[in-house]
Amino acid sequence: MSAQYEGGCQCGNVRYQVTGEPRQVVACHCTDCQRQSGSAFGMTMVVDEAVFRITRGEPAIYRSVSSSGRAKIGAFCADCGTRVYHQPEWRKGTISVKPGTLDDTKWLQPQLHLWTRSKQPWVIIPEGVESHERQPA
Ligand SMILES: [Zn+2]
Ligand SMILES: [Zn+2]
């Protein structure tokens, strides 16, 4: 049996399904992620594009370019504004699901922390978890 994860926006008008194991769960502490999440860091669950599909509604799409010059597509619910996923143009074939939108978030734990030089001082990265001050090359 293959893995299956489901999630959706806050109002429920956009729903999605992931039918494969995520590649990685990442916490990014860069100032772009802090701003876009309105929180201390952004979380991403990287999945292969082939195992991700929208099962309800149609997300609205925008394109943005980060301060490091990399562009991504952002998909959000036009009714409630919840950001559902990103599609980075520099990482073809993958979808960056915003994993706080999963129905079950209990298992979520970042395996990688990025841009820790701008992380909030009270965020303590567990010992042994990979972290980088910036984006590794
Ligand atoms: Zn919604
Ligand atoms: Zn970031």
36-72, pLDDT tens digit by residue?
A: 999 999 999 999 999 999 999 999 999 988 777 889 9
Bridge partners (DSSP) listed for residue 18 = 5, 52
3-state SS, one letter per residue, for 13-35: CCEEEECCCCCEEEEECCHHHHH
Q: Is the pLDDT reported for residue 135 higher than 90? A: no
Domain boundaries, given as residue ranges, for the chain: 5-131
Ligand 1 centre to CA of 98 (Å) is 14
Ligand 1 centre to CA of 8 (Å) is 8
Q: Nearest to residue 57, comparing CAs of 75, 36, 37? A: 75
Within 10 angstroms of residue 45's Cβ, the number of other Cβ atoms is 24
Q: Is the pLDDT reported for residue 114 higher than 70? A: yes
Whose atoms come closest to the Cα of 76: which ligand? Answer: 1
Whose atoms come closest to the Cα of 28: which ligand? Answer: 2
Ligand 1 centre to CA of 84 (Å) is 9
Mean pLDDT across the stretch 109-129? 97
Ligand 2 being an ion, which residues bring their Cβ within 5 A of it? 28, 30, 33
Parallel/antiparallel/unpaired status of strands 130-131 and 112-114: parallel
Please, what is the Cα angle at 100 between 123 and 94, to 5 degrees? 105
Determine the residue type at 86. H
Q: Which residues are CB-contacts of 23 (< 8 A; sequence separation ≥ 6)?
A: 46, 47, 48, 94
Q: Is the pLDDT reported for residue 3 higher than 80? A: no
Mean pLDDT across the stretch 131-136? 92
Mean pLDDT across the stretch 66-81? 91
CATH number of 5-131: 2.170.150.70
Residue 2 is predicted with a pLDDT of: 63
Ligand 1 centre to CA of 95 (Å) is 19
Whose atoms come closest to the Cα of 34: which ligand? Answer: 2
Residue 81 is predicted with a pLDDT of: 96
Residue 76 is predicted with a pLDDT of: 97
Whose atoms come closest to the Cα of 32: which ligand? Answer: 2
Mean pLDDT across the stretch 4-27? 97
In the structure encoding, which two tokens stand for residue 125, read together? 């990265």
Q: Nearest to residue 107, comparing CAs of 28, 19, 15, 21? A: 21
Residue 90 is predicted with a pLDDT of: 85
Whose atoms come closest to the Cα of 84: which ligand? Answer: 1
